[in-house]
């Protein structure tokens, strides 16, 4: 599962330009909040992948321990993700 989450983080970073295009198409977002919006979409994509990978691979929802491990991996990568979202 760790490998799948790390892969999804790399994918979210690589597709930050695509996410920025979504943000650009939504004129209602104030300019000052653009990076936060893009960061939120990237984190959402990573969380969604974790949730569905857990169900697909393990056939169940993640345990509290598995979710804590996911959060640890995500927090260690948050700086790289945020940088890609600028």
pLDDT at 4 over 90: no
Instruction: Return the domain boundaries, the chain.
Output: 2-84
Q: Check pLDDT > 80 for residue 28.
A: no
pLDDT for 59: 92
Instruction: Annotate 46-66 with b (16+ C-beta within 10 A) or e (fewer).
Output: bbebbeebbeeeeeeebeeeb
- Calculate the dihedral angle through the C-alpha atoms of 73, 74, 80, 82, rounding to the nearest 10 degrees: -170
Per-residue pLDDT tens digits for 63-74: 999 999 999 999
Q: Which of 43, 26, 49, 45 is nearest to 79 (CA)?
A: 43
């Amino acid at each position: 599962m760790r490998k799948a989450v790390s892969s999804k983080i790399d994918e979210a970073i690589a597709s930050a330009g695509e996410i920025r295009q979504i943000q650009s198409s939504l004129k209602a977002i104030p300019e000052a909040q653009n990076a936060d919006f893009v960061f939120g979409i990237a984190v959402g994509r990573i969380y969604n992948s974790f949730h569905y990978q857990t169900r697909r691979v393990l056939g169940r929802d993640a345990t509290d321990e598995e979710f804590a491990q996911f959060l640890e991996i995500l927090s260690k990568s948050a700086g790289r993700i945020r940088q890609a979202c600028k």
